[in-house]
Chains A and B, each alone.
Chain A
Amino acid sequence: MAQKKLGKQTFKFSSNPIISSEAAVVGPMEGKGPLGEKYDMVLDNTFAGENTWEKAEQKMMQYSMELALEKKGFLPSDLDIYLAGDLLNQIISANFTARFLNTPFLGLYGACSTLIEGLCVAGILLDGGFVDRIGVSASSHHNTAERQYRYPTEQGTQRPMTAQWTVTGSGSFVVENSGSGVILTHATIGKINDMGISNANDMGSAMAPAAFDTIKAHLQDTGRKPDDYDLIVTGDLGLLGSNVLKEMMRREKISVDNITDCGTLVYSSNQDSHSGGSGCGCSAIVLSSHFMGKLLAGEYKKIFFVGTGALLSPITSFQGESIPSIAHGIVLEYMGGRQ
């Protein structure tokens, strides 16, 4: 009988996996957004000195991991395992960054929920006593995503109001099994939800049911209420997705007062992102720069962070398939210490 499992989908960590350090490297548009000051590095342009966007994205992920290591005086060889993922086919940004770091590597794919998936797996490996120190990264890049999923970037198309803008950014974390600061206490692993939404320009609606399902499962498994948390943060539901989620929660009489979304925080309304930001990088950069800052300052004590991912491919879209989605959740608590 598994001793650390609560209910159907949640794991409770008995030791305290700690987030020791974090860093975010972002593109120019994100740097001009409301959280611009908080990122560690803002690139001048989307190419980052490389000749393709794919190389730029890999560089961003690498730099963000290096910065996270440097803040604590670590080297890549100090990491026992590296967990990373991104949006591209065969997760090339993660693979090539792992090549650079030369550490044991597990690649992850959860679309935009990849970072939280990584933190969940990191918590499990640390709490299980398998490793002492793990690196977790996730990245996305607007142009690499557009090339792969949609149209050439210079093409004059009109995006609908429900569309979201893929964030150009990468967030990395060093997670250890001892220390002080922000700990991971619970991980809730999501199940795939598919409500038959096939519009690739409306991923918020596709992902909201998964977020709802995971939040409900978590509250049920832990016996907690939404008010037990200072905030419940979703990864990138965007404006429409967040509204749909709140509607679904209201119908089940679950309080929605403390729900917010990274996709709505990353861009200001005059940046023409329509329904907000999306992509693996979205939750990664907002958590590492904004929410970690708030937790370490003691402004928030307990956050339930739900990464949401739309698991479609360009081919399934053309074949008329609907978009299956998933959401993973992790509880972050500030235990005092690292300022």
Chain B
Amino acid sequence: MTEEEIWKKIKQREKIMSCSTLFSNFQMSEYQNELQKEHQKVLYWETKASGEEKIRFTNLRNEIEIQQMLLVKPKQEAYKAISNRLAPKQTVVKNTIMAFVFGGIICTIGQIFNNLFLQGGLTVKEAATSTSVIMISISAFLTGLGYYDELGKIAGAGTIVPITGFANSIVSSAMEFKREGYIYGVGARIFTVAGPVIVYGTLVSIVIGLVYYFIK
């Protein structure tokens, strides 16, 4: 096998692969064996070469690796089609209705607390903050008792999207990782799930603040 011969084979296979998509198992393993032989040869030459020659071999090796990957793609696509066809369907309609109902109930409960706080004499801002605190506390309590995940199974987004879901993820992480101690367990991993929300929420707000500052 020489370098030119290998390039020729690659071009040949490229043509065949662009015309027909599915090969027989026999043809596929033939090509895979050819590619493997070529890859090993070129890799070996690459280690022994230097300078411009080495770059040539590196390019050739990359070409072979690309072809190795492309070779199995059609078979994988065909397989995924079978799997998708046989997969059980998500109960989208039921899930959506449940999410609407439970999400609505949670927000309504929040509204009730808000009104109670306003009646109690708090300002609008104080009432809003207190409502959040109460909702988070309830959610933490339910998580601690082990009921929140049962609720989440049925309600889906209805319990994940509200701020109660956020609290649930922090409390459940804290409970989970307590077994690894307070520093490396709770301390390090308490924000495993909630972290991205905090990071990106804060980041976007900072950007908004800066933009506003410069526009002003």
Tell me the bound Cα distance from A191 to B197 in angstroms. 41
Q: A152-B176, A239-B88 are in contact. Are A202 and B149 (CB under 8 A)?
A: no
Residue of A with least CB distance to B157:
A158
Partner of B86, one of A147, A151, A152, A243: A243
A14 within 8 A of B: no
Contact with B along A237-263 (1 / 0, CB 8 A): 001100110011000000000000000
B90 within 8 A of A: yes
Give the Cβ gap from B72 to chain A, nearest Cβ, in Å: 8
Give the Cβ gap from A221 to chain B, nearest Cβ, in Å: 16
Which residues does B use to contact A, with CB under 8 Å?
Answer: 72-73, 75-77, 79-80, 82-83, 86-91, 95, 143-144, 146, 148-149, 151-153, 155-156, 159-160, 165, 168-169, 171-173, 175-177, 179, 192-193
Q: A155-B149, A244-B83 are in contact. Are A51 and B88 (CB under 8 A)?
A: no
Main secondary structure of the interface of B (DSSP, over half): helix
Chain A interface size band reads: 20 to 34
- Do A51 and B165 touch across chains, with their CB atoms under 8 A apart? no
Give the Cβ gap from B192 to chain A, nearest Cβ, in Å: 8
- Do B168 and A240 touch across chains, with their CB atoms under 8 A apart? no
Tell me the bound Cα distance from A121 to B181 in angstroms. 38
Among residues 253 to 293 in chain A, which have CB atoms less than 8 Å away from a CB atom of chain B?
A: 272, 275
Beyond A51-B179, A155-B169: 8 further Cβ-contacts under 8 Å? A147-B176, A155-B149, A156-B148, A156-B152, A195-B79, A196-B72, A196-B77, A202-B83
10 contacts between A and B (CB under 8 A): A152-B176, A153-B149, A154-B143, A154-B172, A155-B169, A160-B90, A196-B80, A197-B80, A240-B86, A244-B86
Give the Cβ gap from B76 to chain A, nearest Cβ, in Å: 4
Residue of A with least CB distance to B168:
A156
Residue of B with least CB distance to A54:
B179
- Do B86 and A154 touch across chains, with their CB atoms under 8 A apart? no
- Do A154 and B193 touch across chains, with their CB atoms under 8 A apart? no
Residue of A with least CB distance to B171:
A154
Partner of A156, one of B72, B73, B80, B159: B159
Tell me the bound Cα distance from A104 to B79 in angstroms. 43
Interface-centre pick from B79, B95, B169 (highest chain A CB count, 10 A): B79
Contact with B along A154-192 (1 / 0, CB 8 A): 111111111000000000000000000000000000000
Contacts of B173 in A (CB 8 A): 152, 155
Residue of B with least CB distance to A204:
B83
Q: A154-B143, A157-B160 are in contact. Are A205 and B83 (CB under 8 A)?
A: yes
- Do B88 and A156 touch across chains, with their CB atoms under 8 A apart? no
Q: A152-B175, A152-B176, A247-B82 are in contact. Are A157 and B152 (CB under 8 A)?
A: yes
- Do B151 and A240 touch across chains, with their CB atoms under 8 A apart? no
A90 within 8 A of B: no
A317 within 8 A of B: no
